[in-house]
Homo-oligomer: A and B are copies of this chain.
Amino acid sequence: MSKYWSELVRGLVPYVPGEQPKVKNLIKLNTNENPYPPSPKVTQAINSFDKNRLRLYPDPDSDILKQALADSYGVSKSQVFVGNGSDEILALAFMAFFKQASPILFPDISYSFYPVYCNLFEIKYQQLPLNEHYEIVLEDYASDNGGIIFPNPNAPTGRVLGLEQLRSLLQRNTESVLIVDEAYIDFGGESAIALVAEFPNLLVVQTFSKSRSLAGSRVGFAIGAEDLIEGLERVKNSFNSYPLDMLAVVAAVAALEDQAYFKQTQQKIIASRDWLDGELQGLGFEVLPSTANFIFARHPAHDAAQLFAALRQRKILVRYFSSARIDQFMRISIGTQQECEALVTALKDILA
């Protein structure tokens, strides 16, 4: 604590990202990265970009990327916002839409950055419990609120809601913004982008970090009604004019254009997820049904923290959360098929 810190800083409890270990040869299944590299077209695009242009500021609006996203998702460019990862977009959206008189609502088990944003921006919030199956109960979100946010599929559970459930929530909740955080949507869920034309208060946030294998490039995007995008632009242009550097834009556009590669890696991850789900159940784990690139599993006879530590000893890193209700689960990112097999072998050894 320093006497120079503002009161605000004193009260912060910052987000703790999953570990980025500097140890080599780890099987890294802890931060939901894609086990496959980005499209070869990304490498080509970065290599052929004239680095001398880096002396210039980027286009503050990243128009090329916005247009590519608009074309890809069948919306207009004015319905697209881009930012430095979906985390930055969420931060700006909390300021733009969630600083309201009533508290915002999100699940008790969810992305742990949401309460952090609320503390930073002095936003009241209420966490609504998942049910005993770890599902979001949308009926609970009917009260007066300053906004609603949840990941879909939810993290770290991996459970997904369908479009008809979201539509029904939006029909009831017309006075505040609903943000659907679709970081993991490309692994089997249906995107709420399909509902944007119907609902002026729906903002869908996605990222290039997972399904496009570009976590290292920091690119996220949001799609919603023009009014909402304009609100985000106002906050962004009061915070940082150029959050996307030139090479991040080049990488994202190239990744978006290679749909064939995208589908191929997506299908491989889904196949490995389904295989791993079956294997873990075979070992006695309870596995929540996942539509994401990770699975959330617990074993009735083995403590999760001990399993986590035993895996780490075997150089396999998964994610463990010590929070209430989920402290007996491990969140396991889907690796290559080979990595998933190594995990199963290690677990068999540990459980034996």
Contact = CB atoms under 8 A, between A and B. Distances in A.
A209 interface: yes
Contacts of A233: 14
Nearest to A122: B122
A52 B255 CA distance: 12
Contacts of A176: 4
A306 interface: no
30 contacts: A2-B200, A3-B175, A4-B228, A5-B96, A8-B95, A9-B231, A9-B234, A14-B234, A17-B57, A17-B60, A17-B242, A20-B58, A28-B56, A31-B57, A33-B55, A33-B57, A37-B55, A46-B51, A53-B216, A54-B215, A58-B216, A85-B242, A88-B243, A117-B238, A119-B238, A120-B238, A216-B246, A217-B247, A243-B243, A247-B248
Interface in A203-243: 209, 213-218, 225, 227-228, 230-231, 233-243
Contacts of A47: 47, 51
Nearest to A100: B6
A38 interface: yes
A99 B7 contact: yes
A240 to B, nearest CB: 5
A215 B56 contact: yes
A351 interface: no
A251 interface: yes
A117 B237 CA distance: 10
A144 interface: no
How many A residues touch the partner, as a band?
A: 35 or more
A266 B28 CA distance: 44
A301 to B, nearest CB: 33
Decide if the interface of chain A is mainly helix, strand, loop or mixed: loop
Contact of A218 (B58, B120, B230): B58
B54 A9 contact: no
A238 B14 CA distance: 5
A290 interface: no
Contact of A245 (B37, B52, B213, B248): B248
Interface in A304-349: none
A52 B38 CA distance: 6
B4 A57 contact: no
Interface in A1-50: 2-9, 12-18, 20, 28, 31, 33-38, 42-43, 46-47
